[in-house]
Amino acid sequence: MINREWHLLSRPVGWPKPEDFALVETPVPTPGEGQVLVRNEYLSVDPYMRGRMSAAKSYAAPFELDKVMQGGAVGEVVASNAEGIAVGDHVLHFFGWREYAAVDAKNAVKVDPQAAPLSTYLGVLGMTGLTAYAGLLRTASLKEGDVVFVSGAAGAVGSQVGQIAKLKGASRVIGSAGSAEKVRLLTEEYGFDAAFNYKDGPVSEQLRAAAPDGIDVYFDNVGGEHLEAAIGSLNQGGRIAVCGMISVYNNTEPAPGPRNLARLIQTRGRIEGFLVGDHYDLQPQFVQEVGPWVASGALKYRETVVEGIENNLEAFLGVLRGDNTGKMIVKL
């Protein structure tokens, strides 16, 4: 049996190019002691993967050259040499970018396809959902009555941030996105109070129009002009949670910082970066609270599904371009 998997051939400079990668055929692995063999059904592609393609020191080890890359995946166990996980079980793990994976049982989490669609364990009920939950409630310390601004608001994380903020009592939620269609989605389906297309004009002007009394919380997925605009609209005691800065991931030169950081002195504002890996203690609370919202339809989600392992790279590049609405998923 043949296993297809994506290898990183060279470290991209600027935007990743197809020649930096290769889809390689290898034998299907045999699970060792304490391992299970998983036939992946859904793979996740996420912006943070761009950072792992670089050799620069970061919070996660770089992908190794000429070896298969990694990412979230969910699939069916087709062989097991581990107690507690049987053939036919479905598991979540982090050996994506391939069709079959031999996974240590300790690194596989059983999931129930009857409780929720398998793909949701990579998105709304998975790492992206917990990212939104932890970043908004713990890092940004959301309080009832806050005015909240979310960039990248039609993406997998941003769309959940806005909805959770409303469910938790925010007085006003504003989102930015990159198309008129996504702006409509934010207000008509996700319940944002206001939204704007950042391509239509300066972000600072559009944000002031949407939040004339300022903002209390900014959830940053974009960086750059958005971050500067948020600092400019921040109310006294405002909080900024930095989740990602997708606008600068492919820059070949250092990105200029916000020019108005001195305003944080006036507002006593706070900017704090966070990683979801530091907040896994919230996982039980997250599932207990968010699961029923998803089941009842109180929290809506979208997925952009690309079919076929051969299109895994294009799906990833699509995330960097902003092609996705909600979570980008590859279905095998």
Span 187-242, pLDDT tens digits: 999 999 999 999 999 999 999 999 999 999 999 999 999 999 999 999 999 999 99
- Pairing of the two strands 100-104 and 35-44: antiparallel
DSSP of 2-46: EEEEEEE-S--SSS--GGGEEEEEEEPPPP-TTEEEEEEEEEE--
Mean pLDDT of 160-165: 98
pLDDT at position 252 over 70: no
Please answer whether residues 148 and 216 qualify as being in contact, where contact means their C-beta atoms are separated by less than 8 angstroms: yes
Please return the burial class of 111, using the count of CB atoms within 10 Å of its CB with bins 0-12, 13-18 and 19+: buried
pLDDT of residue 45: 96
Closest by alpha carbon to 99, among 65, 123, 126, 76? 76
Q: What is the pLDDT of residues 62-104, one digit of tens each?
A: 999 999 999 999 999 999 999 999 999 999 999 999 999 999 9
Tokens of 36: 């299970």
Please return the burial class of 27, using the count of CB atoms within 10 Å of its CB with bins 0-12, 13-18 and 19+: exposed
Is residue 278 very low, low, confident or very high in pLDDT (cuts 50, 70, 90)?
A: very high
Q: Identify the residue with better confidence: 47 or 184.
A: 184
pLDDT at position 250 over 80: no
Tell me 142's DSSP state: -
Tokens of 4: 């297809």
Q: What is the pLDDT of residues 96-155, one digit of tens each?
A: 999 999 999 999 989 989 888 999 999 999 999 999 999 999 999 999 999 999 999 999
Q: What is the pTM of this model?
A: 0.84
What whole-number distance in Å separates Cα of residue 130 and Cα of residue 136? 10
What whole-number distance in Å separates Cα of residue 126 and Cα of residue 120? 7
Q: Identify the residue with better confidence: 16 or 280.
A: 16
Is residue 58 very low, low, confident or very high in pLDDT (cuts 50, 70, 90)?
A: confident
Tokens of 301: 């989600």
pLDDT of residue 254: 74
Q: Identify the residue with better confidence: 63 or 251.
A: 63
Q: What is the pLDDT of residues 258-277, one digit of tens each?
A: 999 999 999 999 999 999 98
What whole-number distance in Å separates Cα of residue 193 and Cα of residue 174? 6
